[in-house]
Structure 1
Amino acid sequence: MKTLYRKRENTCSWNFLLKQMSLYIGFYFMLGCTGIPDEKSIESDISSKPNVLIILADDLGYGDLGAYNEQSLVPTPNLDTLALQGVKFVNAYCPIAVCSPSRYALMTGTYPWRSWNVSGVMRNYERSMMAPGQLTLPAMFKASGYTTAGFGKWHLGASFPTTDGKKPIGHGKFYDPDNGANIDLTGAVHDGPIDHGFEQWLGFSCASECWVLKDKTIIGAMQHDYYTVEKHPQAGKIKQIPMDSYLPMITKASQNFLKEKASKKGKPFFLYYAPYVPHVPLAVSKSFLGRTPAGAYGDYVHELDFYIGELLHTLDSLKLSDNTVVLFASDNGSAFRTTYQGMNASNAANKLPGHFRDTMGIYKAPASSSLSEKVHSPNGALRGIKSTAWEGGVRSPLIVRWPGHFPKGLTTAALFGMNDVMATLAPLTGYILKGGVTTDGMNLLPVFYGKGTKSRKSIVVQSGNNIYGLRNEKWKYIEMPLKEGGTYDELYNLEEDPSENHNLATVYPERLEQMKKELEQILQGQSTTVKTN
């Protein structure tokens, strides 16, 4: 596929987000003279049942894409083009800063702290986060007559069979030297993707478990540098899948699924493409190593963009693009504050060397004579990284495209959460949700059409270690813990201070108390923060 790379100036400017704010305000004014569909057009679309492709990156930063950060050192031509072809959200949230919980929000339309897993990511072999009978995104599509398929990363729990009837060795841990030694490789895996709405699945349940599933069957194991299944008696006989071949493997499987659907021309499809990229360890293939000035991390993001381009090109070549809604997002912010050539970033144990946290919570590269003059900031101007409740941990790039239906090249300031995806897409599938909402998500489909920019007023955000916050219009509140016990408050005006540098908690005490009260009400019961225009 021929790709045109867009040249970007690399002059340093941390005011990029502020510039965007003024740009999309003007853009909305211009839209009054352009072709935004009216209600009748939207009603017609709702009856058409388009295909849906969701692309969920793993630990990709808000500032990695050129479309979001003019200072990015990583070429992302395919995602930048996607943004030009559709609607780009600048206020979209995971809204949880680690993998499993944010995927739960996407799959159920529910905040993860309402599940049994109140905080943090899933550990090895833990049961499903979904309650029995709980509606999921793929189950909704399946019930609406769609063919459903997923490729890549699940990380929402599953039940593995064992040879001794006991729990899998390593259960509840991230690492165990004897991991999975009693797994029954001939048995079926239950309560995983297939039991929660997917008709086809290829990928792992959890990277640290290593096992790769095709539907309910274990077909191989990830050849991870840190996690291992070598103590299993059949480890030498099962297929070992190198980390750097996993991305092309699931891309090829996704392309084959699309080709099959195009040849049969039957039911519409829902395809979930969930690469394990750019999550550490950075398993960059040899052909992409050294391609960017942002180090191995930048190379990995660039490689991800290439394979997303291959997938989108397949949609085009099969003439499926015009009737396919594409939604791209990341499950949380990047784990890196900065990346650069020569960095040692592929730590297999998921612990990042060479970074420290100062008193303001800002992560920086250490002073070093070997540090390149060119430094990439994966989360752009946003403060914090993966696992934090600051914007760098919870704000996600989000792009939606449906040619001829959603506006082309629109940037929207509308507030949107991953927990809104199910309720927003439900009308397009013909599925009727009670009241048009999920537990914590609402139908924001008008926003995809360039309408209803203030449909959602607030959204809860959460760190990986149980720190909660609330985004309410332009305001952001976080309840931060103290080392000696107790908490202190942080309040930011994100419209004026997107980098969260100026704590206004003592300046606006009434606003602070209002947001604290609202957050507490949501945490104690059902969401009360969503409202329509």
Structure 2
Amino acid sequence: MKNWFRVSLFILLILFRGSDLLGQGFDPQLDPPNIVIIFADDMGYGDIKALNPLSKIETPALDQLVAEGISFSNAHASASVCTPSRFGLLTGEYAFRTPKAAQGISGFAPLVMQENRHTMARFLKNAGYRTGIVGKWHLGLDWVTKDGKPAVLDAESGHSNVDYSQPVSAGPNDFGFDYSYIHPASLDIPPYVFLENHRILDPEVILTTEVYPIRKENTEFSWDKKHSNDQAVYWEKGVWWRQGEMAPSFRVEDCLNEITAQGLAFIQRQSADSPFFLYLPLTGPHTPWLPSEEHKGKSGAGLYGDFVMDIDQVVAKVKEQLQGQGLLENTLLIFSSDNGAYWPEEEILLYGHDSNRGVRGQKGDVWDGGHRVPLLISWPKGIKEKATYPGLVSLTDLFATFGDLLDHELPESAAIDSYSFLPVLQGDTGFVSRTEMVHHSSSGMFAIRTQEWKFIDGLGSGGFTYPGRLDPEKAGPSGQLYRIEVDPYEKENRYTDYPRVVEQLKSQLELIVGQN
């Protein structure tokens, strides 16, 4: 009798535990959540009002995500520029392990991923998800050309050898996406076209300069003019794009709206009968800064800040669409950015707005401003209380976290730089998922951080902040060491004070980088 009671009690406890997990949305077999990743382009942690009370930008939709979910105060992109960061997100692997993916690429570059590459989309598709990407791809495409040679842009004429009447021979649909509607690269890089399931829409291309004047009467050059040549459209600071081919119906100023509309249409085609995954990488607030008329002049951070308000509105529209279809409750809604904001010291002084909220550097840099990003996760069914997680997290970690959430084992050799932080979503903000992380700048300068230290294998920013690289002085340090635990702004180089720490971290970094 006593044994029977114990067994019955044990069974009841198991059932109660399972019911509780299901109530929290954590049952991977019976109730898998939808997953939507909204991925901003060049947006800083400090732009979001709820993460930075001194922000000069109103971001009500993003503030609401903070209020109803989990915000990560120590989250980092796997690199500080577009292509390697996006590669890391989708593969769960540092981009430097795949040389083609380790740097920024043009819109005509071939695929940077191998054909058999495991991706988050492929994994979720195999787990029963309908998968889609709508927005900026920037991982290369295998274009079909008129002369059979690799795709190339002639910088002088603005024309390429691409045959736009033909679908690309390889692209996102080959890596687990059931549906794709993409712009090839950043919105200041040609070609300016949309591709739906690898086929170019409106393929009779023209040049951007046939629609847009290169200069306006009141054009004044600013610090960002260095990124464009004399043939590029340049109207004012932040409002420029390179000359090149463009679909006749494509309009640069409407690109974000088109991506948003197609993303909402993808959600509209879904139902509660089957889980779905939408990767929604936006083209803003990356240059060109072309905010909507609704938000122009409404922020305290110039055109950039106005454009961030458009990004906030995208979040609001996605939530509204999910809510209207009864899908929001069981949707894991994730917002992040591919790297820190391109926001130099001149802009901080001009507007009194610190887009990267105090940390040193900006996009491209090996310093934290290059790669610390906002990471917000909301899930009404699974996350019941607001929380802030201070632990170290990389965007590569989303892959393993999804696997853990669904109780699906990752394929062998997949997502090797991904560490699950599922317990954080379950309420354990003291959980430690990783103890170190490698950073990778735009020029290939590496760093490694632990909870206490950050070692940078070189001098300078490694990126867009001057000086990018410095030669060591005689008897001076050849690298940088910051006690990040007490010096989060990387102000005091302790390289010569702690030679053993330098030696240890340098060896650790070389070991990880050498594991290709």
Give the shorter-chain TM-score range.
0.7 to 0.9
Q: Kindly state the Cα deviation for residue 286 of structure 1 after the two structures are TM-superposed.
A: 2.2
Q: Structure 2 residue aligned with 1:214, among 189, 196, 211?
A: 196
Deviation, 1:190, is 2.4
**Change in 2 beyond 3 A, CA 1:44/1:394:** closer
1:281-320 equivalences under 5 Å are 281-320=288-327
Per mean C-alpha deviation after superposition, the further-off stretch among 243-252 and 89-98 is: 243-252
Q: 2:267 aligns with which of 255, 258, 275?
A: 258
Alpha-carbon contact 2:91-2:414 (below 8 Å) kept: no
CA distance in 1, matches of 2:374, 2:41: 12
- Structure 1 residue runs without a partner (length 5+): 1-36, 339-354, 356-362, 366-370, 527-533
Q: CA deviation at 1:123?
A: 2.2
Does residue 1:471 correspond to 2:449, yes or no?
yes
Instruction: Give the letter for the 1:498 counterpart.
Output: P
| Contact 2:471-2:478 at 8 Å conserved across structures | no
Residue in structure 2 matched with residue 136 of structure 1 by the alignment: 119
**Shift of the alpha carbon at 1:42?**
7.4
Matched residue type, 1:185 = Y
Alpha-carbon contact 1:141-1:429 (below 8 Å) kept? no
- Please state if 1:202 is matched with 2:178: no
Alpha-carbon distance between aligned partners in 1 of 2:22 and 2:309, rounded to the nearest angstrom: 40
Q: How does 1:241-256 map to 2 (within 5 A)?
A: 241-256=250-265
Matches within 5 A, 1:300-449: 300-337=307-344, 355=346, 365=349, 371=350, 374-434=351-411, 438-449=415-426
Partner of 2:458: 480
TM-score between both structures, scaled by the size of structure 2: 0.82
Q: Report the residue type matching 2:180 in the other structure.
A: W
**Alpha-carbon distance between aligned partners in 1 of 2:497 and 2:327, rounded to the nearest angstrom:** 53
Residue in structure 1 matching 2:499, options 509, 513, 517: 509
Deviation by residue 1:434-460 (Cα, 9 ceiling, x = unmatched): 579721112221122232521210110
In the aligned structure 1, how far is the partner of 2:131 from the partner of 2:54?
Answer: 38
Query: Do residues 500 (structure 1) and 490 (structure 2) align?
Result: yes
3-state secondary structure, aligned to 1:261:
coil
Separation in 1, partners of 2:514, 2:374: 29
Q: How does 1:13-28 map to 2 (within 5 A)?
A: none
Q: What is the letter of the counterpart of residue 457 of structure 1?
A: T
DSSP-derived class of the 1:328 partner: strand
Counterpart contact for 2:69–2:385, Cα < 8 Å: yes
User: Alpha carbons of 1:43 and 1:322: their partners in 2 closer, same or farther (altered >3 Å)?
Assistant: closer
- 2:92, 2:418 within 8 Å by CA — same for their partners in 1? yes
- Does the alignment pair 1:98 with 2:81? yes
Match for residue 176 of structure 1? 155
**Structure 2: gaps of 5 or more residues:** 1-18, 213-232, 234-240, 460-468
Kindly indicate whether the alpha-carbon contact (under 8 Å) linking 2:81 and 2:441 is maintained by their aligned counterparts in 1: yes
Letter in 2 for 1:289: K
Pairwise CA distance, 1:398: 0.4
Return the alpha-carbon distance in structure 2 between the equivalents of residues 290 and 43 of structure 1: 42
The one-character-per-residue Cα deviations of 1:166-204 (angstroms, maximum 9, x if unpaired) are 22232xxxx723445332122111221111111111121
Number of equivalenced pairs: 449
216-225 or 490-499, which deviates more:
216-225
Change (3 A) 1:454 1:134: same
Aligned to 1:16: none
Aligned to 2:63, what secondary structure does the other structure show? helix
Counterpart residue number, 2:95: 112
Q: Is the 8 A contact 2:330 2:381 kept in 1?
A: no
**CA shift for structure 1 position 256:** 1.4
Partner of 1:520: 510
Structure 2 counterpart SS, 1:129: coil
The residue matched to 1:63 in structure 2 has which SS? Answer: helix
Q: Which amino acid aligns with 2:35?
A: V
Contact kept, 8 Å, 1:50 with 1:428, in 2: the verdict is no
Contact kept in structure 2, 1:144 and 1:430, CA below 8 Å:
no
Aligned equivalents of 1:450, 1:73: Cα separation in 2: 31
**Using a 3 Å threshold, how does the CA distance of structure 1 residues 53 and 436 change in structure 2: closer, same or farther?**
farther
Could you give the per-residue CA deviations for residues 14-48 of structure 1, whole angstroms, max 9, x where no partner exists?
Answer: xxxxxxxxxxxxxxxxxxxxxxx988977952222
Residues 288/42 of structure 1: CA separation in 2 closer, same or farther (3 Å cut): closer
1:207-235 Cα shifts (integer Å, max 9, x gaps)? 323222111111147958433445xxxx6
Q: Which amino acid counterpart does residue 393 of structure 1 have in structure 2?
A: G
- Percent identical across equivalent pairs? 32
The letter for the 1-side match of 2:300 is: P
Do 2:38 and 2:335's aligned partners in 1 also have CA atoms closer than 8 Å? yes
Which amino acid in the other structure matches residue 513 of structure 1? E
How far 1:485 moved relative to its partner? 6.7
Residue matched to 2:230:
none
8 A contact 2:79–2:440 mirrored in 1: yes
**Alignment deviations for residues 462-507 of structure 1 (CA, whole Å, 9 cap, x no partner):** 1100110011113211112454479722122223222111222233
Q: Look up the SS of the partner of 2:194 in the other structure.
A: strand
Deviation string, structure 1 residues 396-433 (Cα, Å, up to 9, x no partner): 11011111312421001121111111111123345321
Partner of 2:215: none
Report the counterpart of residue 85 of structure 1 in structure 2: 68
Match of 2:28 among 35, 46, 52: 46
Q: Give the corresponding residue for 1:155.
A: 138
Alignment match, 1:11: none
In 1, distance between residues paired with 2:76 and 2:162? 37
Q: Is 2:174 aligned against 1:189?
A: no
Q: Distance in 2 between matches of 1:259 and 1:364?
A: 40
Secondary structure at 1:158 match in 2 = coil
Contact 1:52/1:326 (CA < 8 Å) preserved in 2? yes
Query: Which residue pairs with 2:238 in the alignment?
Result: none
Q: 1:70 to 1:495 in 2, by over 3 A?
A: farther
In the TM superposition, residue 335 of structure 1 has moved relative to its aligned partner by 0.5
Separation of aligned partners in 2, 1:404 and 1:206: 35
Contact 1:436–1:442 (CA under 8 A) maintained in structure 2: no
Amino acid at match of 1:420: D
Deviations 1:78-103 (A, max 9, x none): 10110111111011110200000000
Q: Which amino acid aligns with 1:227?
A: R
Residues 180, 168 of structure 1: CA spacing in aligned structure 2 closer, same or farther, 3 A cutoff? farther
Structure 2 counterpart of 1:510, one-letter code? R
Report if aligned partners of 2:101, 2:139 keep a CA contact under 8 Å in 1: no
Cα distance in structure 2, aligned partners of 1:427 and 1:441: 11
| Stretch moving more, 74-83 or 481-490 | 481-490
